[in-house]
Amino acid sequence: MIEAVVFDMDGVLIQSEEVWDAVRERYVRERGGRYDDEVQRAMMGMSSTEWSQFLHDEAGVPDEPTAINDEVVSRMLAAYEAGLPLLPGAIEAVQRAAAVGRLALASSSNRELIDAVLRVAGIDDCFAATVSSEEVARGKPAPDVYLEAARRLGVEPARCVAVEDSHAGIRSAKAAGMRVVAIPNREYPPDEEALAAADVAIDSLDALTPELLAG
């Protein structure tokens, strides 16, 4: 029996991958680093600690990882305050999911970004727990962020259903032992192997009904 719903944020509730991509690309190029499809895809699902180190070590950004993280997050916050890219039906989907059980959020975004998105969207009081992957040992596709979300909820992972859009996120939730509903990201679609691992795939948040979440 499903007792809780754990949402990803980027690509599920907000169309933010493009914002992340644009912000990091501009910053990396300003600092003389390399930014291409390989770099972009490698960072998907990484925690802030991981991607800032990756940009320093692999993409040639000369700044220290802490400074890289701080600057990118500052630019992301400014972008969200200027206009939050909520996906159509995001607020309604969260409200519907509350009929299934307690809600949590397990995101690769920084704590500051999670709090800002939920506050600006007006849905911060819907979630009993929120977890940033910077608060656990490993980012997605490791299961750490989903396991921590279940722990904070006080619900066994097997009694949770996760809502994900990416290859790293789907693998993370499945590795945690959760049921997974995939809403494939159209711009950055999950690979076929990851998508096949999801328990069900739907086209949009409009199809995320309590009946589907409950399995």
The residues annotated with a catalytic role in the active site are 8, 10
Q: Measuring CA to CA, which residue among 163, 164, 166 is closest to residue 190?
A: 166
In contact, 131 and 145? CB cutoff 8 Å: yes
Q: Which residue has the tokens 């009904």?
A: 209
Residue carrying the six token digits 């259903």 = 161
CA–CA dist 54, 66 (Å, integer): 12
Residues 187, 18: contact at Cβ < 8 Å? yes
